[in-house]
Structure 1
Amino acid sequence: MDIASLIPIIIALFFLAISYTTIKQGHVGVMTVFGRYRGVLSPGFNWVAPWVSVDKISIQNHTAELSFQAITLDQANVYFGCTLICSIRDSHEETIQKAHYSFASHRDLLTSISRLLEDETRTYVATKRQAEMIGISQDVVHQIKQNLAAKIENWGYAIHDLRYNNITFDDVVKNSMARVVAAVNERDAAVNEGEALLIRKIKEAEANGAFIKINAEAEKLAWKLKGQGLSDFREEVAKGIHHAVEELQSAGVDPNYMLFFMYTETLKHIAEHAKAGQTIFVNHDPNAPHGIMEAMSAFYKVQSPSARVNVSNG
């Protein structure tokens, strides 16, 4: 085979070698012919004409770490640190075309998104006071994220996550906030301590009142039982005397001897339980026992008619 016949084969192989391109997973290829858009290539092995230019762009997530400063309504400096995650919105050809031609480079894209995020955050912070910026709620983050997403949607991109992970203030502001928090905590502690003391005093008063009530009821019951016992004792004594009188009468003995016996037992009891130095004067007149029995008989007749006894005049 001569060289002339090999030239077409070599040319064909050369065109085949330069007419294919490989697109990595997570990327797409944008075809242009002499600078004009012609379509999108999917990931994998693709055949293209030699005069077709292919630009590869990533459809994976892009992360940007941002740090910036904002000023509140009361002129306090707030320093933010946040993380932004974004990517091409979808794999549709129109979306890919927007994402490819909106910016000259990926760096320009992240710069534009970062500036938009800073502007949205500063606009929000400018309407709030320093005390309100101690913590940004998720509702506020969602609002800023929505405003930012609506603007970059025209570029073919979407925001997947936005987190404010570091919010700091000037040292003077932080010291002031620390004093305010300490004062609030001290006030809350004093309020809680006062409420606890009040509750303790109320409980002590309730317990003391309950104790006094129970003690009074117990004392009342004790006096009632004591009176009932004394009444029962006297009733039993009266029954005993009455029974003794009946026994003496049935035995033919003068019942007045029982009164005299009670008199002598009383003297005996007094002598046994009296204190040292005390003196009992007893009438030793021969007629004294008779007079004593008459006096006692008359006393019982007046005090307890039911317990009367017959008194002999002999």
Structure 2
Amino acid sequence: MPPPIPDHPHHLLPLPNGDLHYLQEGDGDDTVLLIHGSLCDYRYWRWQMPALAERYRVLAPSLRGCWPINHPHPQPGYRIDAHARDLVHLAQALDIRQGLHVIGHSRGAQVALSFATQAPDLCRSLTLADPGFRFDDEPESRPFYTHAVEQLQAGDIDGALEDFIDTVNGADTWRKMVAWFKDMTRDNAATLLSQILEANTPVTQRDAAALACPLLLVGGANSPAKYGARQDRLQQLHPQAQRVRIALAAHGMNLANPRAFNRAILDFIDSVRIPAAR
């Protein structure tokens, strides 16, 4: 299979009950793990991989159940904790003993936090970009993409994607999106049929408070308020956490303003790795 992003070799890691597809670039002493969110796959990081790989080794997996895997949904194994276990397997298979700088966006932020909880020794730093999870002391709520799932089940794929994307990123976003992004979300549209089954999976306050690695919270300046509220609460638990707002961007901040997003990530990793190198 040719790589979807030029000059980014495609790799395959066999796992129990499936395979993990990932991209890898760079050969720095430190390793960065990029975890995409809903409706995405490793193609989502097309503007991050070359920039981060100038200094670091970069891994970008497609979470199991996402493109290029093409199995029907819903899938019982499409879960936050299962995704995190897959990524622990990846780190162990690649013998990354010194740990990773883990970056998760949106749903991927909850996967990233689960990774840090499952394998704290493998997480050297944690970046959560617009996390949207609920905490365990908050009531369950109707998933915002319930209507999108209904549209998807009725066969209206583009209508479902427009509903989802415009909700998280602002009205009329879908219409303005570039062709490659639309193709990626179409390839992953069926994952919503699995995702809605775990939509209210909470993060426990205990797990969030127990994070011991350096933490960066990233938000889009124009993102919906709920994402900022998650960051506010995480910062209450971790007052020492760094925080950055990406100007001229909403939820898809790494695509809308990749230069600012990449700079924030690089500055953070540089700041937390220098003491360890002395």
TM-score for the superposition, normalised by structure 2: 0.16
Higher helix share: 1
Instruction: Give the TM-score normalised by structure 1.
Output: 0.15
Task: Identify which of structures 1 and 2 has the higher relative contact order when contacts are C-alpha pairs closer than 8 Å and 6+ apart.
Answer: 2
